Structure 1
Amino acid sequence: MYQDFAAELAWARRHMPRTAKALAALPDLSQVRLACNMHLDLKMAPLVEGLIERGAKLFLTTCNPTTVQDQVVAHLVAKGAEAMAWRDMSDADWSASFDAALAWGPTHLCEMGADLTARLHQFADGPAIKAGLEATGSGISRLGGVAPRYPIFNWDDLPVKEGLHNRHMVGLTAWHTFFQTTHLTLHEKTVLVIGYGLVGQGVAASAKAYGGQVLVAETDPARALQARYDGWPVVTLDEAVASAEVVATATGAKHVLGRQQLAAMKDGAFILNVGHVAEEIEVPFLKAHPHSQPMPFVNAYALPGRTLYLLADGSMFNLTAGYGDSLNAFDVTLAVMVAGIGHVVGAGQGAEPGLHLLPEPAWRAVL
């Protein structure tokens, strides 16, 4: 993906000053063994480099194999990190990477999706984790079924992450990636957004700004009411799929768009996912049909009487087929993440086991 990796990494560092400042404020981390389960693209490199420079030992795994950039992993390993992550690694290798990270003996965790915490709590013993950090709504929901043995700090629900990354950047960059991938715009297209959380809100607003005619499908009554108050037609999923020309899932749940809906979709419809969970779309149903790849990251599936176009195999579209957040916007997000790491290796270690919101004093100074 990167034409000149060194030059692009230097460009990223240049445009992420908040992250650099937050890293410089961290204490000595020479006693910290941090296992990170996260996206491994260019924007993450300044974070890992900075943590290594502060003395931390790092083990890198990914929260999504389709978003891994192998050049980034190779660079970070050369800098001193250990890693078990590569682009499109198999499910078996991905699962094994969680065991490898835990066997490495981390003292702290930094996660996007709670994979390491979920794996650790399947067993009665394991590494003595002092504290962890969780970045995603999907991970927070997953932790609802776990009784953590250590404090875990949720920074997904901070206003600065909700309002900037979740609400604005995901939708904006998803449609940028759609334009680049398909060579099409949203003009004269009916766009169905499934899910009206903060990500869905941003997807809907950006789709309208780019010329789409937007419908919203949302099963939660409160969010459906909010969508109506925001001016969107709220429809049932089954009634909307037959007319939508572009369908975007943004729920973080599994099989939201199942075979019944897929079989009823309009000929030529595009399907994409921007949620953290790769299984929002029942992709195996589509893969049982003949298919071709007319464009990179576009798979055409021939169903009876229609062709459907699945983007990026149903994985997180804006980061699998595109670059994700802008550097300047992600600089804020990453700086808050650095501050969260500073908290979990410091005062956060003394908190009670369980899930906590990252306290405002821990991150306010990085803005």
Structure 2
Amino acid sequence: MYENFDAELGWAALHMPRTRAAVAALPALNGVRLACNMHLDLKMAPLVAGLIDRGAEVFLTTCNPTTVQNDVVDFLVKKGASAHAWRDMSDSDWSDSFDKALAWGPTHLCEMGADLTSRLHQSSNGPAIIAGLEATGSGISRLGGVTPRYPIFNWDDLPVKEGLHNRHMVGLTAWHTFFQTTHLTLHEKTVVVIGYGLVGQGVAAAAKAYGGQVQIAELDPARALQAKYDGWPVVDLLEAMPQADVIATATGAKGVLAAKHLQALKDGAFILNVGHVAQEIDVPFLKQHPHSQPMPYVDAYRLPDKTLYLLADGSMFNLTAGYGDSLNAFDVTLAVMAAGIGHIVDAGKDWQPGLYLLPQSAWKAVL
């Protein structure tokens, strides 16, 4: 929670000039009912408040209950938003939130993970959505199994998001959060990064910059080859476990770090996830064992022959235990999101159903 929310909100808004300008450039949003499924932390407040000021009606759900800041939700509800989201809400309440958002009757969707779209397409009924936005690789993967009933614009694959947020900020802030949470650095530690997409690349580069001895575990042959060309040792995941001091999952897929991998880890290893999906690590296996919490966001699980340290319960570490992207870097990301909302409200109705990359004409002016 933020100690002085009003002051920190003002600070965030002050250091997000691109977002302010992008919101100011939006058309009047009267009549727009926007359901947002997103991380609800301080950085989101200036955008959502701006949308409401422009006339939009907004319903808030979260893409990850562990990253919700309740004071942010409270502030936005007071601004006029409807919401069904709170920190650490149960899986049942979280699932109910998707149904509530759709029952609210949105005209447009703004998502991180495609939860609303997936839920909507499980039934032949539901609101008539004009257009939607999707911000994550995990969401885009989920949409691969859906025939959209409306145009959905992918902005995760924009160079400005891939190259800034995915490639640089996730890794940087993950290790900042590691230092703050554990009071340890990466010096003399072997760090195994699972996944060598853009997030994994950033996690690896930042770990090396902070003194870690980095190895890459990657199943995709092309990405594994890229990792080798970038100078990283590429290892078999199971074989690497006994030497690993820190494991970072960065794939956005479920079940990446299974029980057999956890059992092979050395005593005292740290495990963290920075991918969008909270189930990258087999946390239920760990929870079968006795545990304690020596530090906030650090759970020590006592297996028969070792103790393993799980960070942030396997959820997105940099945003659950930390503050995520810097304000100035996320300002670019959020300005592109604002421009994307302008696009789906204005031009979105003219596109045929399908999945499209958000066109450059929609966002280039915010840079």
TM-score w.r.t. the length of structure 2 is 1.00
> Could you tell me which amino acid in structure 2 is paired with residue 341 of structure 1?
I
How far apart in 2 are the matches of 1:183 and 1:118? 40
For the residue of structure 2 that corresponds to 1:215, the secondary structure is: strand
Distance in 2 separating the partners of 1:338 and 1:10: 19
SS of residue in 2 equivalent to 1:276: coil
1:163-197 CA distance string (max 9 Å, x none): 00000000000000000000000000000000000
Which residue does 1:220 correspond to in 2?
A: 220
CA distance in 2 between partners of 1:106 and 1:47 (Å):
18
1:74 deviates by 0.3
Structure 1 residue 67: Cα displacement: 0.1
RMSD between aligned residues:
0.4
Output aligned runs, 1:248-267, within 5 Å: 248-267=248-267
Aligned-residue offset at 1:312: 0.1
Q: SS where residue 352 of structure 1 aligns?
A: coil
**CA displacement at 1:350 relative to structure 2:** 1.1
1:243 aligns with 2:225: no
Q: Please give the secondary structure, in 1, of the residue aligned with 2:242.
A: coil
Question: Aligned equivalents of 2:349 and 2:228: distance in 1?
Answer: 43
1:348: Cα distance to partner?
1.8
Query: Which residue is equivalent to 1:105?
Result: 105
Cα separation, 1, equivalents of 2:331 and 2:357? 21
> What amino acid is aligned across from residue 314 of structure 1 in structure 2?
G
Matched, 1:167 2:172: no
Other-structure match for 1:348: 348
Query: 1:46 & 1:10 partners in 2: Cα distance?
Result: 9
Give SS of 1:261's match: helix
Counterpart-to-counterpart distance in 2, 1:72 and 1:10: 13
Aligned ranges for residues 152-191 of structure 1 at < 5 Å?
152-191=152-191
Is 1:196 aligned to 2:196, yes or no?
yes
The match for 2:319 is: 319
Q: How far did residue 3 of structure 1 move?
A: 1.3
Q: Residue by residue, what CA displacement relative to the aligned partner does 1:24-73 show, whole Å, maximum 9, x if unpaired? A: 00000011000000000000000000000000000000000000000000
Distance (whole Å) between structure 2 residues aligned to residue 300 and residue 327 of structure 1 = 32
Which amino acid in 1 is paired with 2:189?
Answer: K
Give % identity: 81
Q: Deviations over 1:246-295 (max 9, x none)?
A: 00000000010000000110100000000000000000000000000000
Secondary structure of 2:243 counterpart: coil
Aligned residue number for residue 67 of structure 2: 67
Q: CA deviation at 1:242?
A: 1.0
Deviations 1:81-123 (A, max 9, x none): 0000000000000000000000000000000000000000000
Separation in 2, partners of 1:350, 1:274:
36
Structure 1: any 5+ residue segments left out of the alignment?
none
Residue 306 (structure 2) pairs with residue 282 (structure 1) = no
Partners of 1:279 and 1:52 lie apart in 2 by: 33
Which amino acid in structure 2 is aligned with residue 291 of structure 1?
Answer: H
Tell me the amino acid that sits aligned with residue 175 of structure 2: W
1:229 paired residue number: 229
The CA deviation at 1:326 is: 0.1
Structure 2: how far apart are the matches of 1:74 and 1:241? 43
* 1:41-56 correspondence runs (5 A): 41-56=41-56
Q: Distance in 2 between matches of 1:267 and 1:217?
A: 20
Between the aligned partners of 1:345 and 1:231, the Cα distance in structure 2 is 45
* Equivalent residue letter for 2:307: T
Which whole-Å CA distance do the structure 2 matches of 1:345 and 1:42 have between them? Answer: 25
The answer to whether residue 37 in structure 2 is matched with residue 37 in structure 1 is: yes
Q: Which residue of 2 aligns with 1:334?
A: 334
Q: Does 1:293 align with 2:293?
A: yes
Question: Any idea what SS the aligned residue of 1:97 has?
Answer: helix
- Alignment-derived partner of residue 140 in structure 1: 140
Shift of 1:10: 0.3
Secondary structure of 2:59's aligned partner: strand
- In 2, distance between residues paired with 1:11 and 1:327? 9
Q: After the TM superposition, which segments of 4 or more aligned residues of structure 1 sit over 4 Å from their partners?
A: none
How far apart are 1:8 and its partner, in Å? Answer: 0.5
Counterpart for residue 13 of structure 1 = 13
Alpha-carbon distance in 2 for matches of 1:34, 1:185: 42
Whole-Å separation in 2 of the counterparts to 1:29 and 1:241: 52
Counterparts of 1:136 and 1:339, CA distance in 2: 16
Which one-letter code corresponds to 2:180 in the other structure?
Q
In structure 2, what is the Cα distance between the partners aligned to 1:185 and 1:254?
28
**For residue 200 of structure 2, what is the amino acid of its counterpart?**
G
Gaps of 5+ in 2: none
- Residue 198 of structure 2 aligns with an amino acid whose one-letter code is L
Aligned length: 367
1:269 partner letter: A
SS in 2 for 1:345: helix
Partner of residue 271, structure 2: 271
Shift of 1:23: 0.2
